[in-house]
Amino acid sequence: MQLSEVRARAEALGLKPGKTGKVDLIHAIQKKEGNSPCFQTGLDSCDQSDCCWRSDCLPGSSTENKRAVYLRKIKAELKGFNDKIDTLKARAKSMAGKRKTEALEDIKRLEKKFEDEIKLKIHDLTGVSEEMWQSTKKGIEASWKELKKASQEALSRFGSPKPKDRNPSL
């Protein structure tokens, strides 16, 4: 389905598409219709046989389509990771002393792990053989799992400033 058709459908449902991209707009439509916003989220199969987005979402089983869907999924997850890092940075700014130093060190470690283990591997996924793609994908998934765990630990450790770290004038 063309973007103009997706926009028309969104408007018919009372949504204001603005400059929203196709995937995000389809997710908004799916939510508005009471469905799961699952369009192109990397699912290998779908039980929604009457979904009007099915042909765009699951166009076939070709390796190239699977790679494209997988890369979109990972990029969306990476955006969420970057949001967590931004949250940690904002919280670290409100801290003082040793806690602030530890939080900033954790953030630096997470960013380095992200650069070294995830970003480079994603770049390696383009233009490789099926065997190499599967191997790299497994490596990304393992690194991603470790990175999520480390970011959750950092968020819980430095999640909210202690009362003495808070600025009383705020």
Query: Tens-digit pLDDT profile for the chain (170 aa)?
Result: 788 889 999 999 999 988 888 888 999 998 888 888 888 777 766 777 677 777 677 655 455 666 777 777 777 788 888 888 888 888 888 888 888 888 888 888 888 888 777 777 776 666 667 777 778 778 888 888 888 888 788 777 776 544 444 443 33
CB distance 90 to 158 below 8 Å:
no
**Whether residue 71 is found in the same domain as residue 155:** yes
What is the rounded radius of gyration, in angstroms, for the C-alpha atoms of the chain? 20
CB distance 48 to 64 below 8 Å:
no
**Whether residue 68 is found in the same domain as residue 53:** no
Q: What is Dmax (Cα atoms) for the chain?
A: 59
Q: Residue type for 7, please?
A: R
Domain count, the chain: 2
**Whether residue 32 is found in the same domain as residue 90:** no
Give Cβ neighbours of residue 103 (< 8 Å, ≥ 6 apart).
Answer: 88, 91, 92, 95, 154, 157, 158
For residue 167, what are its two tokens?
């600025």
Which residues span the domain enclosing 16? 3-57
**Whether residue 25 is found in the same domain as residue 106:** no
**Whether residue 74 is found in the same domain as residue 34:** no
**Whether residue 138 is found in the same domain as residue 73:** yes
Q: Which of 57, 75, 97 is the last residue of a domain?
A: 57
Q: What is the pTM of this model?
A: 0.49
Residue 12 CB-half CA count within 13 A: 9
Within a domain: 93: yes
